[in-house]
Each structure stands twice: as structure tokens, then as C-alpha cells.
Structure 1
Amino acid sequence: MTLPTDLKNDADALRAAMVKGLADAEPAANADVPMHPAWLAAAGKVPRHAFVPGFYLPADAPDAQGLTVWEPVTSKLDYGRWLAAAYSDTTLITQFDGEETDWERPAVRHGGAPTSSSTLPSLVLRMWSDAAVSDGHTVLEIGTGTGYSTALACERLGSSHVTSVEVDPVRLEGAADALHGCGYAPTLARADGLYGYWPEAWFDRIVAACSFRSVPPALLRQTRPGGKVLLPLSGWLYGNARVLLTVAGDGTAEGPLLPGTISFMPARTRAAPAYGNPGHWTAGLHEVRSRSVRHPPERIAAATEAAFHLRFLAQSAVPDAQMVTVGGVLHLIDVVAGAVATLTPEDGGWRVRESGPVKLWSRIEDFVDAFDAAGRPGPETYTLRVDGDGQRLLHARVPQLRLPPEGC
């Protein structure tokens, strides 16, 4: 199937409708500041479809094994579905497990871990707005991805003010082709976002489109005094937060966690280590005496905003733990310390067994006790301080939490 000759007209109409929908949806419930009209104007000009020639959408139902069925979508397979999705406020998955797809002959996928995407437009615009970018600012974007977010920055600021780095060379090549095809010419580089991009420093703003366990020190050193770094944070429990740091002249930085719980893919070079078969970790745990839990695992494992926020905070108490559920049993596994906790449903409640030098669930429960006693404060009540004493989450009524040293 060839592309219709009226692609531009179709795309223009859908893009205008998308931007109107985004504008009508403001102010967002989780927004710290209103979305800047200049970013909406940029979204009205950037052709998102040029950056997503192929992507995957989930089927209506999982397969027989319970895995999500991912259907490939291209203009040749289904022009209408492709273009409508490109101009929907939806994240479009473009890569699984770091493997490239042959978009001339794409196949349906069953399960898999998304490793690259075109983030939903409302979130991209929200990130740029929250970073308080102004005309004349120079910006560094961490994670070029498809290049759509980069194009928005170029449209708003001019290409000469935009630098974007990407660790995946194939992703970067595709983004570069799309950007240049649309008339944008930012500085692009293959680089690990952990180290920023020194040749163009200093920047007025640094904005990351992937998450880190803690703030990379290089990003602070590449930010002008008074400049800001907007960074998604996550850990190996996959709790999420965003922080907006203001960098001082002495290299320290401080800023609030932003409202809402927004998830970003972790930086690839900071992914959690493999733990193998959970059964290897839990072997022998049946000999450990169990106890009733003080807090059920739903407090951090449920798919709710409150649980995601609490999970982000709680993972600071067990920074090297990972969570996996097998057959209704939840396991916490810490491959660094060599510790494990297993939570099993029993008689309408939960019981836990813990083994190793770190009592993982006990640590989480101790933090939840303090969190509840403080009135369950939201993310915007926390401040992240980065200085010679490390990276600390500070709150007036909750004991301070430390983020793991970057590089660990």
C-alpha cells in the first residue's frame, strides 16, 4: 500500500485536533506549572508522524500465556490506524529488548520489555514546560529516542540552541534522518547521558527523557549557575519521581520533587542486574520462620499513584532490591547484599519470610510506619539536596532518605 497523496492534509488536521485536545485538557492535575503556550504552538508545527514510521500497539487481549500481544503498525499495513495513533496522546513503542524491527516485514510480538518509544505528546510538553525553558536558553536533552521531543525544542528555541544525546546508535541515526528531513539541525551525539555532553557545556537547562537512580554529577557540572536540571528518577523497584533542581555557583543543587507519578524508561547503562531464577533465591526459605506483615505489599505494588509514590520512597530504604511476583507470591531480591524476602498470601492476609544480611521487607515497613505517621505526604513536599554529603531526600516530618551513589 502506498501513502495517500493527501498525507499532509490528513496529518495537519489530526495534529490540529491533537493540540486542541492537549490545550483543552490543561491544567493537568499533576502539573506544577501550566503548560506554556509556546510548547503547544511548537506541537502544532512538528509532524510527529515523520518520527514514527513504525511502532507497536497492544492488542485487545493477551495471548494464552498471559503475555501482551503487540501488533506492528505502519502506514503500509494500515494507513488510518498509523496516522491516527501518531496524533493521539499515546506512547508509541518502537523497540523491544534492544532489538531492531524490520519495518518492511514486521511481526506480531508476544511480551517483551520496551526499550525505546515515542513518549506521549502531553508528557513531552509537560517536561519542557516544567523545566521553565525560555527563549534564548541552550538545552541539553538526554535521550533523543525518535527525535520528536528534540524537534519540539528546535521548533521553540532554534536548532542552534539544542543538543541531544542518545546511547543507541541506530535510534540516533533514525532520529537524525527524521530531524534533518523536517528541516531541524540540532547538535546530535552518541553518548551515555550519565556523562552529559561537554563540548557544548554550559547549558541553561538539561532535561532527561530517561530515568536515573540518582543525579549524575556531570549534569550538574555542565549546567550554568542558576540553571535547572529536570530529571526523572527511578530505582530497581521501579518507583518513579521527577525532580527539578536549581544548580548553585558552588556546584550544589536543590529542588522539589514534582507532583504526580510519571514513568520513564531507565537509562540503559543503569538497568537492574539480572537475578536469574527467583527459585534459586528462595530455596531454603521454607525453613525460615514466617511472620504476619505490618503492611501488605499492595501499599507499594498496586498500580495506583499513591503506591508508585510510596514505592519510590521505600526503594531508598532498600536501594538494591528488585521485585517479582510468581504465582501470586511476591519476592524481593537483593543481588548486591545477597538477601531475599518472600510475601505469601494466607487466610486473607500476608506472611513474610526474610533471609540474608538485610531484612528487606522489615526495612520497607519501618519506612512506611514513618510515612504514615507523617500523614502520607505527597511528592511535592520533598526536597532533593545534592552536595558534598551525597544526595538526600529531605522532609520536615519524615527521616531523610539517601539516593544510591551514581555509578552503582
Structure 2
Amino acid sequence: MAMPADPETDAVRLREAMADAVAQGGVLVDPAWRAAVEAVPRHRFVPGFYLPADERDGQGLTVWKPVTAELDYGRWLAAAYSDTTLITQFDGEEPDWKAPVVRSGGAPTSSSTLPSLVVRMWADSEVAEGHTVLEIGTGTGYSTALACERLDSGDVTSIEVDPRRLEAAADALYGCGYTPTLAVADGLYGYWPEARFDRIVAACSFRSVPPALLAQTRPGGKILLTLSGWIYGYARVLLTVAEDGTAEGALLPGAVSFMAVRTHAAPAFGNPAHWAAGLPDKPRPAQHGPERLMAATDEAHHLRFLVQCGVPNAQLITVGEVVHLVDVVSGSAATLTSGDGGWDVREGGPVRLWERVEGILDAFDAAGRPGPETFVLRVCHGRQLLQHPKMPGLLLPNQTYTGL
């Protein structure tokens, strides 16, 4: 007779194997973080999640299949202890994991981030015993549990904007014996009741550094967050906050992306064809084509971030063989069409979007195509300026997001 499934026992070996896999990537340098990975039962935090099917639906959308212990115990437990991001929610709708359904498409709005990235974020924040920590984006609670295991529950505060997500995370955390301070709150505003913090670490991305986070960090404290935008360029930065409330820090190397804080999500732009219809008929040759931004490379990932600092309200959309840039704030637009001799561009509105993109690409090339770690972000008196010794400074969007 087969023995009944026991995830508490079966998971021990899988946790050790996952720790080995993460360590091979060079993340688990600190033995204390390895011990945390080996101790925290990730399966408790992901009772259900979605994995992509091999096939797409009739409209070409990704088919997402639910995975739970009841549906497929082996697959569920193996995936829980893989170094993989597990999608737990789409479009802000909490699934019923007792009766989950297959779904097509949708925008992921919550997940259990791959463990190697979770540990990397905590390690990169230079958090140490005795530090008080604010985590923005509790999600499933797995990252919170690692922090509690590594530090002390009494030093960890974690906030989540979605009350249903927080309730599920709280059940899992308390069930594992972790007792951090938890609250439903918007990460844009931090969490004043527990401030000030030695470290603030965000498991979501922002278009610019929220001022409240600076005010809630002790002088000498550090903020680790991911910056993003509507062209889906990302950069991580570790800021050190000074006595006067200003902050400065270099971008960190590597390509990492996080879901945007919900109030910073890109707005709907309508029909790209409507935007294109109002552009001048006569095109000009483009100095740079859009493939430099759209390639699946670390440099393209970095370039998208630099470019969106120059056109912070633009969105990049491809329809067929035409690439559109649409700026819903200024009313500007541009289209790029591939021809025999390269790309042709038409643009109109108060901001010459592609012309500004070309200027950034020219400056990037002239500077020797510098990597992220050569850029410094300075936050001072309401201005957030990204600087490089060989490139003009780039302003991040202001807090009202109405342009530069």
C-alpha cells in the first residue's frame, strides 16, 4: 500500500535541493540565508498557483493551468521547491483554490517570486541582525518568512495593498510561527506607525522613489527598490539616506523585473491606429531602430530604462510590423515602419518622442555603452536625477507623473 502524501516530510529533501540550486547561482554566500532557505516551508505559502501550458488558446493567449496538491501533488510540491516565480493571482482577482479553473491571458498581479531573487534582494539590501526592516509587497509571505527566519519577527514589518493577499499570507506566516507586523497599506506611503527603518526593501517596482520612503528611513539607512516605467525598462538601486533626507546610490547590475505598484501601472492608451492617423504623412529616416530596445538582452533591458527616463509617459506597442510610441499625457505619438533601407519614423505632438529616444541612444553609444552599475541616482529636494560622468542627466518622473 502506498504511503499517504506528507508534504512536511517530503519537502525537507526538496528544500535542501533548492538551496543547493540557489547556492550554485552565487546568491547564498551568507550561511545564515542558506539556513533560512532550508528552514522556511515554501509550500505552506503557495497552496495554489498557475503554470503556463505548452499550448496557447485560439487568440494566441497563454493558457494558465492551476496547480494544487489536490490536483497533482507531485507537480505542486516540485514546483513549490523550484527556483521559479509562481503566479498566484491575475487581474487582482483572488482564485478559489478549492475549485480552481484554467484561464487564458490576464495580467499577473501577485506571485511568489523565485527564491534566488528573494534572497538576492535581502542580501543586496545589506540587512543584518538588529536592523528594523520594512518590506513592501508581502505577496504570499514567503519572502517575509525568510526575513523573519534570518532576523527576528519583531524587527520585520511587511505591508500589502491587497487585503485578501495579506490575509492568506498572515495565515501562512502565523501558522509557521512567524509573527512580523503586518498591515494593509500602499507601498507609495510606506508605513508610518513603525518608522523609522534601517532598511526598506520593495518586492514591487515604482516609477520613481516615493518621498515617504526617504522620510521613514533612518539617516545612514538604506532603501532597495526596483524602478520601472511604461516601456517596461527596469533598474534596481540601493539608496543610502543622509541626515538631510537626501539619498544617493548606484544602480545594481543584472536584469531584474517586478510587478509595478498598482497605482503606477501603465494607463490604457486606446487604439494605436487612432494615434497614428493624426501623424504627418511624410516620414523621415530613423537614426536608430526599435530593435535595440526590444531585443532579449541585458543591454536592451538597461536601454529601455534609460529611454523611459527621457520619455517617461510613453508606451511602446507593436502591431503587426509597425511599432508605435504613444504618450497619453502630452498627446504625442510616433510610428516606426521597417523599409528596405532601415526604419522610417513619423511623429507628432508637443514631444518628438523618437527624436528624444535617438538622443539618448546617441549619448549612450558616445559614452561607450555603459552598464547600469556606472549610473548613480541622486534624490534631492524633489528632483530625482540619474547621472553618468559621460552622459547628460536623466530625470525620473515626478510624483504627479505629468512629465518632466
* TM-score class, shorter: over 0.9
Q: Which runs of 5+ in 1 are unaligned?
A: 28-33
**Counterpart of 2:351?**
358
**Counterpart of 2:11?**
11
Aligned: 1:110 with 2:104: yes
Report 1:40-55 matches (<5 A): 40-55=34-49
Q: Which runs of 5+ in 2 are unaligned?
A: none
Q: 1:98 aligns with which of 51, 75, 92?
A: 92
**Counterpart of 2:363?**
370
Shift of 1:348: 5.9
Structure 1 length as normaliser, TM-score? 0.95
RMSD over aligned Cα atoms: 1.3
**Counterpart of 1:31?**
none
Report 1:89-238 matches (<5 A): 89-238=83-232
Aligned: 1:310 with 2:323: no
Please give the per-residue CA displacement for 1:364-384, whole angstroms capped at 9, x wherever unaligned: 001100000000000000000
Q: Which runs of 4+ in 1 moved over 6 A?
A: none
Shift of 1:143: 0.5
CA 1:321–1:397: 2 relative to 1, 3 Å: same
**Alignment partners' CA distance in 1, 2:67 and 2:321:** 34
Please give the per-residue CA displacement for 1:317-368, whole angstroms capped at 9, x wherever unaligned: 1000011111121111000000111111222622111011111111000110
CA 1:132–1:293: 2 relative to 1, 3 Å: same
**Counterpart of 2:376?**
383
Shift of 1:25: 2.2
Q: Is contact 1:288–1:355 with CA below 8 Å preserved after alignment?
A: no
**Counterpart of 1:282?**
276
Structure 2 length as normaliser, TM-score? 0.96
Shift of 1:291: 1.4
Shift of 1:23: 1.1
**Alignment partners' CA distance in 1, 2:232 and 2:45:** 28
Shift of 1:248: 0.5
2:344 partner letter: R
**Alignment partners' CA distance in 2, 1:25 and 1:7:** 26
Aligned: 1:79 with 2:73: yes
Aligned: 1:24 with 2:18: no
CA 1:127–1:288: 2 relative to 1, 3 Å: same
Percent same amino acid among aligned pairs?
70
2:34 partner letter: L
**Alignment partners' CA distance in 1, 2:72 and 2:212:** 44
**Counterpart of 2:393?**
400
Q: Is contact 1:316–1:403 with CA below 8 Å preserved after alignment?
A: yes
Count of matched residue positions in the alignment of Structure 1 and Structure 2: 399
Structure 2 residue matching 1:313: 3-state secondary structure? helix
Structure 2 residue matching 1:311: 3-state secondary structure? helix
Structure 2 residue matching 1:257: 3-state secondary structure? strand
